[in-house]
Structure formats: structure tokens, C-alpha cells
Structure 1
Amino acid sequence: MTFSSTIIVFSQSVSERSGDWSSHMCNIMGHLEELFTSTITRTFPEIDKPIVQIQVSKHADYQCNAAMTMAKTLKKNPREVGETVVKNFPEDPVISKLDLSGPGFINIYLDKEFLKQQVTNIVLQGVTPPPTKRRRVVVDFSSPNIAKEMHVGHLRSTIIGDSICHLLEFLGHDVLRLNHLGDWGTQFGMLIAHLKDEFPDFANNPPPISDLQAFYKASKKRFDEDEEFKKRAYEAVVKLQAHDPAHKKGWEEICEISKNEFQKVYDKLKIRITDRGESFYQSRMESLVKELTDAGLLQEDNGRMVMFGDGGEIPLTIVKSDGGFTYDTSDMACIKQRIEEEKGEWLIYVTDAGQSEHFKSFFACSKKAKIYDPAKVRVDHVQFGVVLGEDKKKFKTRSGDTVRLIDLLDEGCQRSEEKLKEKERDKVLSEEEFKKARDAVAYGCIKYADLCHDRTRDYIFSFDRMLDFRGNTAAYLLYALTRICSIARTAGVKKEDITEEAKKNPLVLEHEKEWKLARTLLKLPDVLVKLTEDLYMHPLCEFLYEVSSVFTEFYDNCYCVEKDQSGNIVKINYNRLILCEAVATVMEQCFAILGIETLEKM
């Protein structure tokens, strides 16, 4: 049995159809999946929850292979199934034509007027997010410990967490960025006792502690070696927990010194975050323990009170044998506060993969205690691998110490400056422009090198690789963006001129490389939607690199500004400048989501 090649052509203009996508970018693949799912459900009601996957096609713009999988259930020829789907497909502003190829592949061709309108809208409106249901999101990231310096181990949580916040904020969610500081516990007894010995007048004069790490080490040494000091340290803990004014003042001083040091890192990386330490949850922990006890969810284990969750292999220690609380207690109080008080609908924890078992148990216990209901609240543990040195071992200094984060950032600036001077950028940029370029490249490269990898894998930290102006690096992509922005500037065309041209005249796209570039730009909404599903950021980096690569193809084949042999401009192709502006706008938005500052000149 043979079938003719069924073709459905939609010939109406975009403005004549419903849903003209004028106010926001269309997530095309998601839209196509919805259309095919509804068409299949209507056409074949016997198919329960059809599985529809849309993919990019070599023969058309996109392709749907649902007919192949449905044919087995329907016991029909897949091409016949595909023909039936095509015949029953509704008119839609995104699609110009459907046809069949092979044994039943449905080829999808996008409407060119739709494509041109979407590209024009990027220039006129900027990158607009696809429609999203607004949710209250709490993101827990970075989370260093008071009295200890931020080190390379905090790098990934800080960078990944910040980029996730940028993504969700761009999509319209209400995001609370939380820094869960380790600012409570027995170690503060020894710190306060040491503080009282070293700076007796700390309550009236802020202690001049320039190196808090050294201060911590000195107090720890005394705690380990001096029994009398250890006794005073434990007494200090008791007084702190009883809110003794002098001890609380000492604790506040130590916390303030630490936060000021943390802020230096956050300022360099331009990261916004709200500090909320474990101390915030102390009274809530007491209430939580009573609730869990009253509900019969705790059981005694060698003097401890522990809790088992369904599916969690490791129990949580809710109360220690000495009556104190633990990180487990704190985490349980945290999730309760974030759901009940913050009204969190989506909670995200960004920590290393080594804590995965803890989070399994913690989430399981939260469900068992009826604090967290998966049907009402989404919870994600965003885990990541470790940072390795070029020797593929855990990243350390030459002396074997943990690398301080502030030192790493400073070295990045130094390396960036050397690289830019090597390329003689200091000779063409003003002093202010050069400093801005140095910082943007340094911090952008560090962030991008982290985010462009699958976060669950370890990655090798290499300044040489990060600062390479070739390949998929921030250095290359930032430079590529400045080159794109310079095209119109070199022609003497202002951004406002391009915008006015886009308003007045319909965009004309003729060359195949123009169409390819337009289609590539319009993949962004689908990439962003996909990021929210699994919170892996590297596909956005891959998209950014793809845009840059496709732009190079376009620029090599399509003259934007034509000059004569003397170098005088003889023609300015405004349609192509509009396309350049759309590319720059998309790239800038991608960088913004990644938390990377862009440059006009480099």
C-alpha cells in the first residue's frame, strides 16, 4: 500500500491568526509539542498521554516522530498515522507548512513572517521571556562559615547559585537569594573566649582582626592544647546560648568581621545575596524538636534523638546526646520556615555532590513530618563536582593549603591584565575602559569556565584555558560580542537608528545564512525553559557559543557595510544591522543570566 506525500500549507499572514506572539518570545519547541499533543489526543483518543518529542531537522526546521511510536499501539502503518495527524492539524501562526518524509516523519516548516517578526521584536523589545507561572523561589547558595575565609570550595556554589537566581528572576519568578551562614555552634565559645583574652575591650573598641583565619587557628590550637581554656570556651557557649550581652557582643563582632570579608568576594563577582545564619533558626529548632517529639517521629539511639525518613538510608540526628542541636536540626527548621513563613513554592539548595545522601534523608524526613509536600512545593538539590588543579587532583596551593577565593580572583585579574596587554588592548582603550575589560574578562572567564561544564562533573581549573581567545570561552565570546557591537558603530550608525529602521520597515531576510541566524536566535526561549527543568546551566553556554558560530557564518557571507577600494562606505544594509543588533541583544541577555558583565569595547 502506498500513500501520497501529504502537505498542509498555512497561507494566512501572522496578523490574521490568533496568538501573534507580539508581547513575548515564543518557546517554539514547547509550543509545537503542545500543538501535536492536542492534535493527537483529539485524532486518536485511544492513545493515552501521547509521547511527543520535537527535534531539529536537517530536512525542515523541526520534525515530529510521534507517528512512529503510535503506529505500534494503533496497529497501523506509521505513514498512514502521520498523514492523519497532518490532515487534522490546526492552523497556527508559527507554522507555514507540514509534510511527510520517509516512513512517517512529520516535517515542520516555520512561518517566515513569524520568524521575521520575532527577530524584529528582539530589537524593539529586548529578549522577552516566554510566559511563566510566577512562583516564590528560595535559593540557598554560597553558605560559608563565620570565622573562616571563603575558599575555592565555595566557588561553584556561589557561581552556580547566582546564575540560577538570574535565570529565575529573568523568567519572572519572585526569588529570595539566601546565604545560609554557619554562625552558631560550639566553635563560637572558643572564638569568644580567645577574643576576650586578646581584646578585653572589644565591647567598646572593635577588635583590629585583619586575618580571621589566623585568629580561628590560634583559638583552635588553644582549645586543643589548654584544658583550662577549653573549659572557659564551653562556658562561653552556654552564656552565648543564654544571650548574655557581653558574649553576644563578641559573637556579633566576629560575625561582622567575617561578613565584611565575604562581601569583598561578592562585590568582585557582583553577587547579590541575603545573609541568614543558623542563629536565625535557634528558637525555631526548639519548636521543631517539640513537634517531632509530640508526633512520635524521633527515636533514641545511644543517647541521641534521631529520625528516619522513608527512603533515606541515613538517619538525621535531631538532638545530640548532650542535648545540643545539629546541622540536621537546622536544615529541618530551615525548610519549615521557608515553606511556612517565606511561602516558598520552590526551594533550591546548591551544594557539592558529597552531601547528596544527607539531602535524600533530609527531604525524606521533611515529607514524613508533613513539613514538605511534593505536590505543593518543588524542592531541588543542585549538586556539583569538585574543582581540580591541572594535575587533576583537588585544587590546592603549592604548599598544599586550600586556595583562598579572594586570592584566586586577584590572580585572575592579574592574568587577565597580562593577556590584554599581550594583545595590546592597553594601547587602544582608555585607562578606565582597560580596567573594566580586565575585570570583566577575569571574573567572566572564571564564571563561564564553571558554568559551561556539566555541573555534576569535576572540572579542571586552568587560567590558561579560561583566558584563551579561541573556542568556547568567555574571553572569546566577550570579544566576539564587542566585534558585533562595533559593526554599526564603525559605520556611524547609532542604536536608535537601527531601532527606528526596525519600526518603519518590515525586516527582509533573503540569504540562507540570514535565515539560519534568525532561526538560531529563536531557540533561546526553549533553552531557558529546559534550564528550569533540571537547573543545568551549561546548555545556555552551548547556545551562546552556537549563536557566535552561526553569526560568523553569516558575517563571512553577508556584507553588512559595503566599502569601495578606498575604504569609503558605499552601502549600509540596515536589514543586516537589525540582525546584528538582535544577535548582540540575545548574547547580552545570555551573559546577564550567567552573571557575566559585558563590554562595549575590548
Structure 2
Amino acid sequence: MSDSTLREYTFRCMKAEKEAEKLATRLQTLVEVEKLASRLKTHATGNVELGEDEDFSDKEFTNLVNENKKLKYRIGILKKSIESQGGDPSSPAKDDNFSNHMCNILGQLEGIFKKAVLSAYPDVIDPVIQIQVSKHADYQCNAAMALAKSLKKNPREVGQMVVKNVAPSSLISKLDLSGPGFINIFLCQDFIKQQVTNVVLNGVTPPPTTPKRVIVDFSSPNIAKEMHVGHLRSTIIGDSICRLLEFLGHDVLRLNHLGDWGTQFGMLIAHLQDSFPDFAKKSPPIADLQAFYKQSKQRFDEDEAFKKRAYEAVVKLQAHDPVHIKGWDDICNISKKEFEMVYERLGIRIIHRGESYYQSRMETLVKQLDDAGFLEQDDGRKVMFAEGADIPLTVVKSDGGFTYDTSDMACIKNRIEEEKGDWLIYVTDAGQSQHFKSFLACAKKAGIYDLSKTRVDHVVFGVVLGEDKKKFKTRSGDTVRLVELLDEGLQRSEEKLKEKDRHKVLSEEEFTKARNAVAYGCIKYADLCHDS
């Protein structure tokens, strides 16, 4: 039995068990309703007296009857689901009448009209179907316009042929043509009622799908640096993707690829040794890690002796010297606590797994690539070329150190081979597109990434710009701290709520919850409402 089939069995068993448990706990209610219904109705006419423990009000009776209807509806849904999932468990459940879950109306309409176009014009290859909301109907299909141009025919004539070839569907009640060839689509009212009833009684339920192991890489700030507004986009978009995939039933691993290794830790540890000489015995009370980082960077840039010590500290850190590992660990823990405060405010769940996690794997990877003849010497560096990669990867620097390229190659190897990821998603700004194109091409060449077995998506977004259309920064030139943005959101939210006198009708706890929900909800929406 394959891993995917086993996961499918497990997923469906767990789902069935949960449904069974819910129904078992409520089944007695249904039975009691059936038994008491006639007695309650008789009691309403005054013919029969109820016992002391059977004192039901009209409201309670109505609630029980409604509960009965819901349970019967759910049992019907479960029966249909069981019937549709009969046979090979690895095949998706059928959905002919859309009754089991929410229907993707646009997707269904696109499929219906694509079949109609191919039926009317069999020689057309992969027709583009555009469905959009219409002012004159529920939806409108504009496929005839594009087809008419390629077929060199009258668009209205093409539209009539498409309509003629639309197969009967419980989704559509009527089609008509308007203008030069626009196809107006009117949805069936019974279908709409069915969908609304399903949502009211059962909530929003996803379509049956084969669960996959999905690994989403998002947020990814650097240790010893505060999160800025640029991190917000990756964090919010990545979390939203995770929530959607989890809702669909996929096994999602949320990873925070922290920048927790590299030459910057040499200067941080050297500065730590000077500022807190006893840090090896007692964790340093660093109040402002961002200021601490700036101080170490300034010394690194201006003091040659300090720079030399910083490089020596890096060597000792990479050799896993206990004292230097202790300093590195202290700095990482302080940073992670600050990140967690931001994630908690935004309701983000994520697992920290920085570059340090892949250090030993990088050493193994480099040897494998070298032995296979994939690496070439270039001015003291070891680089890797691949078809489709405009820029080669620098796998080993001239000083023998590793790079982000090395880390990402080891990372994708780990996620495919060790984590058994079926689908990898990276959420970063568009500035990293070239890097991802190169490292994925090299991963394919090395046999790490097989497009036919693993899906990889690079979800890109634009950078956060200020009013001057440049990267959003403070007047001093620093990036805007994410904490400051969240605090400003809280302040504005509180002001708006007080303008509406919400503080007069809500308790202090309720007001705080409302303020937070409005602030963080607005910040997330403002970020997600953009297409890029």
C-alpha cells in the first residue's frame, strides 16, 4: 500500500470517527424528540399531563424539532457521502449534485462552457473561458467574443452555437444572448436554496480531496533584528494559505526559515563577550536586541581588531565551541521570544526551523554534489550551473563557508526526502524570484526535485511602499517596525470604537477584544485585498 493511499485511509477513518462521535452523543436527543413529540402536541391541547421532569416550553419544543431536522439532514448527507466514496479509496468522491459541500460556482460554470465550446467547435484547442458577475444576469460568459476572432465568424453566431451545446445542468435555469455575443447566465433557484440550506445546517464544508503533506515556508525574519512591515506580507499571506489548506484537509507543516546562522553572529558574540563577560554562566539581560545588533555592526565596520575577533568567533561557532554555542543560543532565544509576541498578537502558528538546522545537511549535500561532478571552480568558489538558471548558485564561498544557496538546496532536499513533502510552498517578495528560479533548476539537475512527484510553488508579492512609492521607511531611513504598526492599529481602532460609544456598552474585557479584532483584522485585510 502506497503512502498516499494509507494517508487517504487514515484521513477518511478519522473523519468518519469524528462524525460518528458527534452523532452518537446527539442521537439520544433525536430519539427523545420522536417519543415526546406526540405527547407534547397532546399536552398543548390540554389532554395529557407531563411528568415533573417533562416540563417543556414552546421554545424548547421548537428547538428540539429543529435539532431533529438538522440531524436528519446530516444523516442524509453522510449516507450520500458514504455512497459516493464507495470503491477505490484513492479516488475522489463524486459530486454530481453539489449536495455534500460548497460548490465552486465559477469553476463549475467554466467547466460547463468549456465542454459546450468543444462540442460546438471540436477543432478549438484549450479554449479560454471567462466567467464574470453580470449586472444583467447572475453571471456572464464572454467566450464567444474571443472565439469569433480566431474562427473569423460573427460573435453572436458563435454565442448561439455555444448556448445550443450547453448540456442540461441543475446549476443553470436560463441562458440568453445580449449585445454582440455575451452569454447571460441565470442560476437555478433550487440550486441556490440547496446551497444556502446546506451552509445554514452544516456550515461551510470543503469538497472531498486526497490529503497531501504540504510544507509552507513563510515569515522568515532574521535573528537579532526586529520584524518590520516587510515581514507582515509573507506572514499574513503564508498563514492564510495554511488556513485554507488545513480547512481542505491537508497535512500542513508551517515553517519559519529563520536567518539564525552566518557571519553576523561572529560580531554579535564578540560584542556579547565584551558587554557581558559572564554570559557563559548567566544569560545576558539584553534589553534591546536591535540596539545591541547596531552597536556590534558599528564596531565591526569601524574597528579592525574587533572585526578580526568577529571572524574568529564565527570559526569557533561553526566548530560548535560550547561557549560560543551558548552565546548564539542566548541571542536566538531572545529574538524568538520577540517574534512570538508578534505572532501571538496576529494569531499565527508557526514552527521555528532556522538555517542552523540544516548545517550538517549542507556538509553532506556539498560532498554529494561535488562527487557527482555538479560543482565547478570559479575564482575560488564552488558554483553550480543548470539549464534554466540565469545565475549560477554559489554553493561554497572562497573562504569555505556556505551561502543562502547552499541552505536552500539542503532545505528542499530535507523537505522532500525527510519530511516527505508532496507540495512545497515558499512565500517571499518578488525580489527573490531569480534566486528561486536558479536554485529550483539546480535541485532538478541534482535529482533532488522531480516535477512529476513534488509540486513546488513560489508565491510572490510586492514590497510595502510608502507615499513616495519607495520601500516604506521612517524619516531616519530605518524600516518601520512591525510592532509599531500593530500598536498604531490598536490606537486607531480604540479611537473609532470610542467615537461610536462602544466603551459605554461593553465591559473592559469585551472592549479590549473588540479593539484587537478590529485592529488586527483591518491590518490583515489591508494586506490581503491586494493582488500583488
The normalised TM-score by structure 2 is: 0.76
What is aligned with 1:95? 172
Q: Which amino acid aligns with 1:240?
A: L
The separation in 2 between residues aligned to 1:382 and 1:58, in whole angstroms, is: 33
Instruction: Give secondary structure in 2 for the equivalent of 1:388.
Output: coil
What is aligned with 1:268? 345
The separation in 2 between residues aligned to 1:402 and 1:76, in whole angstroms, is: 57
The separation in 1 between residues aligned to 2:139 and 2:294, in whole angstroms, is: 61
Instruction: Give secondary structure in 1 for the equivalent of 2:333.
Output: helix
What is aligned with 1:282? 359
The aligned length equals: 440
The separation in 2 between residues aligned to 1:381 and 1:75, in whole angstroms, is: 39
What is aligned with 1:169? 246
Match of 2:336 among 259, 280, 291: 259
What is aligned with 2:325? 248
Instruction: Give secondary structure in 2 for the equivalent of 1:223.
Output: helix
What is aligned with 1:573? none
Q: Which amino acid aligns with 2:297?
A: K
- Label 1:86 to 1:416 Cα distance change in 2 as closer, same or farther (>3 A): closer
What is aligned with 2:486? 409
- Label 1:310 to 1:104 Cα distance change in 2 as closer, same or farther (>3 A): same
**1:317 corresponds to 2:394:** yes
What is aligned with 1:369? 446
Alpha-carbon offset, residue 247 of structure 1 = 1.9
Match of 1:231 among 308, 324, 327: 308
What is aligned with 2:126? 49
Q: Is the Cα–Cα contact under 8 Å of residues 98 and 108 in structure 1 kept in the other structure?
A: yes
What is aligned with 1:447? 524
Q: Is the Cα–Cα contact under 8 Å of residues 100 and 207 in structure 2 kept in the other structure?
A: no
Instruction: Give secondary structure in 1 for the equivalent of 2:531.
Output: coil
Q: Is the Cα–Cα contact under 8 Å of residues 266 and 314 in structure 2 kept in the other structure?
A: yes
Alpha-carbon offset, residue 195 of structure 1 = 2.2
Alpha-carbon offset, residue 72 of structure 1 = 7.0
**CA RMSD, aligned part only?**
2.7
What is aligned with 2:100? 23
Alpha-carbon offset, residue 387 of structure 1 = 2.2
**1:333 corresponds to 2:405:** no
Q: Is the Cα–Cα contact under 8 Å of residues 284 and 333 in structure 1 kept in the other structure?
A: yes
Q: Which moved more, 1:22-31 or 1:80-89?
A: 80-89
**1:378 corresponds to 2:432:** no
Q: Deviations over 1:173-194 (max 9, x none)?
A: 3222111101111222222233
Q: Deviations over 1:196-254 (max 9, x none)?
A: 33333323322211111122222233333444433333232222222222222221111
What is aligned with 2:476? 399
Alpha-carbon offset, residue 272 of structure 1 = 0.9
Q: Is the Cα–Cα contact under 8 Å of residues 473 and 479 in structure 2 kept in the other structure?
A: yes
Instruction: Give secondary structure in 1 for the equivalent of 2:173.
Output: strand
Alpha-carbon offset, residue 314 of structure 1 = 1.9
Q: Is the Cα–Cα contact under 8 Å of residues 344 and 377 in structure 1 kept in the other structure?
A: yes
Match of 1:389 among 466, 470, 485: 466
Q: How does 1:112-191 map onto structure 2 within 5 Å?
A: 112-191=189-268
Alpha-carbon offset, residue 325 of structure 1 = 0.3
- Label 1:133 to 1:55 Cα distance change in 2 as closer, same or farther (>3 A): farther
What is aligned with 2:59? none
Q: Deviations over 1:459-479 (max 9, x none)?
A: xxxxxxxxxxxxxxxxxxxxx
- Label 1:421 to 1:74 Cα distance change in 2 as closer, same or farther (>3 A): closer
Q: Which amino acid aligns with 1:336?
A: K
Q: Deviations over 1:317-359 (max 9, x none)?
A: 1100011100111111112212222222322222222222222
Alpha-carbon offset, residue 83 of structure 1 = 5.0
The separation in 1 between residues aligned to 2:141 and 2:308, in whole angstroms, is: 72
Alpha-carbon offset, residue 112 of structure 1 = 0.6
The separation in 1 between residues aligned to 2:108 and 2:143, in whole angstroms, is: 15
Alpha-carbon offset, residue 68 of structure 1 = 5.3
Q: Which amino acid aligns with 1:114?
A: F
Instruction: Give secondary structure in 2 for the equivalent of 1:435.
Output: helix
What is aligned with 1:295? 372
The separation in 2 between residues aligned to 1:116 and 1:454, in whole angstroms, is: 32
Q: Deviations over 1:488-517 (max 9, x none)?
A: xxxxxxxxxxxxxxxxxxxxxxxxxxxxxx
What is aligned with 1:109? 186
Alpha-carbon offset, residue 35 of structure 1 = 2.5
- Label 1:264 to 1:108 Cα distance change in 2 as closer, same or farther (>3 A): same
The separation in 1 between residues aligned to 2:274 and 2:135, in whole angstroms, is: 74
Instruction: Give secondary structure in 2 for the equivalent of 1:20.
Output: coil
The separation in 1 between residues aligned to 2:488 and 2:128, in whole angstroms, is: 51
- Label 1:130 to 1:56 Cα distance change in 2 as closer, same or farther (>3 A): farther
Q: Deviations over 1:127-149 (max 9, x none)?
A: 22344443322221111111111
Q: Which moved more, 1:227-236 or 1:209-218?
A: 227-236
What is aligned with 1:199? 276
Q: Which amino acid aligns with 2:257?
A: H
Q: Deviations over 1:281-339 (max 9, x none)?
A: 11111122122222322211111111223232222111000111001111111122122
Instruction: Give secondary structure in 2 for the equivalent of 1:96.
Output: strand
The separation in 2 between residues aligned to 1:397 and 1:57, in whole angstroms, is: 44
What is aligned with 2:5? none
| Structure exhibiting the larger radius of gyration computed from Cα positions | 2
Q: Deviations over 1:47-92 (max 9, x none)?
A: 4434433333444323344455556777876666655554554332
The separation in 2 between residues aligned to 1:338 and 1:32, in whole angstroms, is: 37
The separation in 2 between residues aligned to 1:74 and 1:152, in whole angstroms, is: 50
Instruction: Give secondary structure in 2 for the equivalent of 1:279.
Output: helix
- Label 1:213 to 1:56 Cα distance change in 2 as closer, same or farther (>3 A): closer
- Label 1:128 to 1:203 Cα distance change in 2 as closer, same or farther (>3 A): same
Q: Which amino acid aligns with 2:295?
A: A
- Label 1:452 to 1:40 Cα distance change in 2 as closer, same or farther (>3 A): closer
What is aligned with 1:60? 137
Q: Is the Cα–Cα contact under 8 Å of residues 443 and 449 in structure 2 kept in the other structure?
A: yes
- Label 1:66 to 1:230 Cα distance change in 2 as closer, same or farther (>3 A): closer
The separation in 1 between residues aligned to 2:125 and 2:358, in whole angstroms, is: 47
Gaps of 5+ in 1: 1-14, 456-602
- Label 1:72 to 1:392 Cα distance change in 2 as closer, same or farther (>3 A): closer
Q: Which moved more, 1:332-341 or 1:386-395?
A: 386-395
Q: Is the Cα–Cα contact under 8 Å of residues 27 and 130 in structure 1 kept in the other structure?
A: no
The separation in 1 between residues aligned to 2:315 and 2:247, in whole angstroms, is: 46
Alpha-carbon offset, residue 39 of structure 1 = 4.3
Q: Is the Cα–Cα contact under 8 Å of residues 115 and 166 in structure 2 kept in the other structure?
A: no
What is aligned with 2:40? none
Q: Is the Cα–Cα contact under 8 Å of residues 19 and 93 in structure 1 kept in the other structure?
A: no
The separation in 1 between residues aligned to 2:476 and 2:155, in whole angstroms, is: 66
Instruction: Give secondary structure in 2 for the equivalent of 1:357.
Output: helix
The separation in 2 between residues aligned to 1:302 and 1:384, in whole angstroms, is: 34
- Label 1:393 to 1:433 Cα distance change in 2 as closer, same or farther (>3 A): same
Structure number with higher relative contact order (C-alpha < 8 Å, ≥ 6 residues apart): 1
What is aligned with 2:298? 221
- Label 1:149 to 1:92 Cα distance change in 2 as closer, same or farther (>3 A): same
The separation in 2 between residues aligned to 1:44 and 1:388, in whole angstroms, is: 48
Q: Which amino acid aligns with 2:350?
A: I
